[in-house]
Chain A
Amino acid sequence: MIATKSDRMMTAFSWGFITLFAAFCLIPFLLMVSGSLTDEQILINEGYSLLPKGLNFEAYRILLQSGALLRSYGITLFITATGTVLGLLVSASLAYSIANRRNRLRHAISFYVYFTMLFNGGMVPFYILISNWLKLSDTLAALILPLAVQPFLVFLMVSFFRTVPEELEEAGRIDGAGEVRIFIQLVLPISKPILATVGLFYALIYWNDWFMGILFLSEENKFPLQMILRRMVSNLEAAKNLIPSGAGIALQAPTYQIRMATTLVTIGPIVLLYPVLQRYFVKGLTIGSVKG
């Protein structure tokens, strides 16, 4: 086929625009990486640049010895792991129950969950519930429990479970399997893709959350990574809290450099897992776009 002039222009424009937008998306990350490796004085005087000037690894050297950062990393990992497992268990069970035709309450339960997407009590009653009634302030439970059932993810799973052929369950029943065995041994194994998708959604929610932290945490030794970052944004000096006392740092701590290095360390797992994340997210989005 002969490409006309108009078609060639179209292609050129597509390449040009997409390249520019992709660069726009990428540049902040490059500045961050380069900033974490740039000498502190240059950062202060000249700002961030795409290639590190005065290359040094001072910030990473400090962070590696930082007990505070390590503890915070552990807390985030714990919250993410516990939250993902809990969220997945509770949501998958709920979704399977809603999707099952033999559940006579399925419409009622479905509306009960759905209504919370339309109307909520607002921030104030929620805060009072967690801090005054449940007394969960300054506990990690306050960062895990409230996020464990995400209605959107529940319905994502419901639409998947609805596609599970009834014959499968019927066959199981004929073979004498009870409801428990049908769910655990027949339905769950063929649901691995959706469980992976929803699990990653939950992991991302927990890894990136800081709202629960800012509402309910005041003790620094319980801060997850996002809260450490958040404090650095609101207070420039906060970066110094990560410096171990025996690190032999003079008064001139590389604050700006540490801020960038901490940010990079925080997003590290997401970037490393990104190929997997991306694939499952796109899958989840296309399942989700079937309904709702």
Chain B
Amino acid sequence: MGGKTWMRGIGRYPFLYLLALPGVLFVFLFSYVPMYGILIAFKEFNIRKGVLGSPWVGFSNFEFFFTTDKLLLVLRNTVFLNLLFIAATTCCAVLLALLLNEIRVKWFKRTAQSLIFLPYFMSWVVIGMLVQSFLGGMHPTVDGWLESLGIAPLNWYYEAHLWPWILTLIRVWQGAGYMSIIFLAAVTSFPDEIYEAARIDGASRFQMMRRITVPLLVPTISILTILAIGKIFNGDFAMIYAIVGDNSMLYPTTDVIDTYVFRSMRVLNDFGMAAAVGLFQSVMGFIFVVAVNALVKRYSQDSALF
């Protein structure tokens, strides 16, 4: 395509390009301009002097990566929590989709779907409020339930080692229903003929589920999982901060890269260091997404993102 025809293309349909303009500007301002700010990671940033005026310090903002094990801890928490979330949510969602598919009573299926999808629409602040209400206070509500089961009550906000599992449970509550609907949509698209043939051969419903539905569902499951793994370095700030907040007792197991960056910036005012960690995360995340996409592409061209 020559430069001239290209220009003529714009000249012929100026409106098409005009339509794209506001969106392009928004993306430029809120996504591309901050990329320029990455320079802060290499500067001793001072708000008054601005990004350009602040002195260069080379890689000294990155030094703490090696001098403390802080980064290692938040990195480990980020990856570990994300793996737990992915595994638990996917397993529950697949199970829910398979079992919902077995239910033939319309009203029950529809009601159940509505109920398990509902938590997905709640903001993390609302969820944080619920968690605090049921686990916090002088006599936590959940402790009352545990006592009636004969289990000793706990002081939840002092038990850091329990929180990865508590957060996972919350994640399942919030996201498994949403994910199961994606799986269920895939399941209902499987051809009826296969099931018909299996029925004629005398297969039970369980056998059909195991030998037909699950194998057919595997591509969808692996693609969603692989895509989720691509984002494994992105801690869910909105979730963790809304639930854990500034509860430093729980940092050892729940502090992720994103909450750490936020605190370094807002509480410690260490912009340079926070930017350095943020840059490290962006680069790692980018490499992972691209690598994962290459993997998906090899596996199934249609499912790759780009």
A and B associate: yes
**A215 to chain B: which residues have CB within 8 Å?**
266
Q: Is the CB of B19 within 8 A of A18?
A: no
A251 interfacial contact with B, CB 8 Å: no
- In Å, the complex CA distance between A224 and B25 comes to 27
Q: For the complex, what is the distance from the CA of A263 to the CA of B126, rounded to whole Å?
A: 6
Collect the chain B residues with CB atoms within 8 Å of residue A252's CB. Answer: none
Residues of A close to B66: CB separation below 8 A: none
Docked complex Cα distance between A28 and B100 (Å):
22
Chain-A contact segment, one of B36-44, B74-82, B157-165: B36-44
Contact with B along A127-156 (1 / 0, CB 8 A): 111001100000000000110110100100
Contact A90:B26 (CB < 8 A) given known A18-B99, A128-B37, A179-B15: yes
Q: Does A221 contact B (CB under 8 A)?
A: no
Q: Is the CB of B27 within 8 A of A121?
A: no
Q: How many residues of chain A are within 8 Å of chain B by beta carbon?
A: 104
Cβ of A91 within 8 Å of any chain B Cβ, yes or no, is: yes
CB-defined contacts of B181 to chain A, threshold 8 Å: 282, 285
A46 adjacent to chain B (CB < 8 Å): yes
Chain A min CB distance to B238 (Å)? 6
Q: Which of B194-222 contact A (CB under 8 A)?
A: 204-206, 209
Chain A positions near chain B (C-beta within 8 angstroms): 4, 6-7, 9-11, 13-15, 17-19, 21-22, 24-26, 28-29, 31-32, 35, 44-49, 89-91, 93-94, 96-98, 100, 102-105, 109, 111-114, 116, 118-129, 132-133, 145-146, 148-149, 151, 154, 178-180, 183, 204, 207-211, 214-215, 226, 229-230, 232-234, 256, 259-260, 263, 266-267, 270-271, 274-275, 277-278, 281-282, 285-286, 289, 291-292
Interface residues of B (CB under 8 A from A): 1, 6, 9-10, 12-13, 15-17, 19-20, 22-24, 26-27, 29-38, 40, 47, 50-51, 92, 95-96, 99-100, 102-103, 108, 111-112, 114-119, 121-126, 128-130, 132-134, 137-141, 143-144, 173, 176-177, 181-182, 185-186, 204-206, 209, 237-238, 241-242, 245-246, 258, 261-262, 265-266, 271, 274-275, 278-279, 281-282, 285-286, 289-290, 302, 305-306
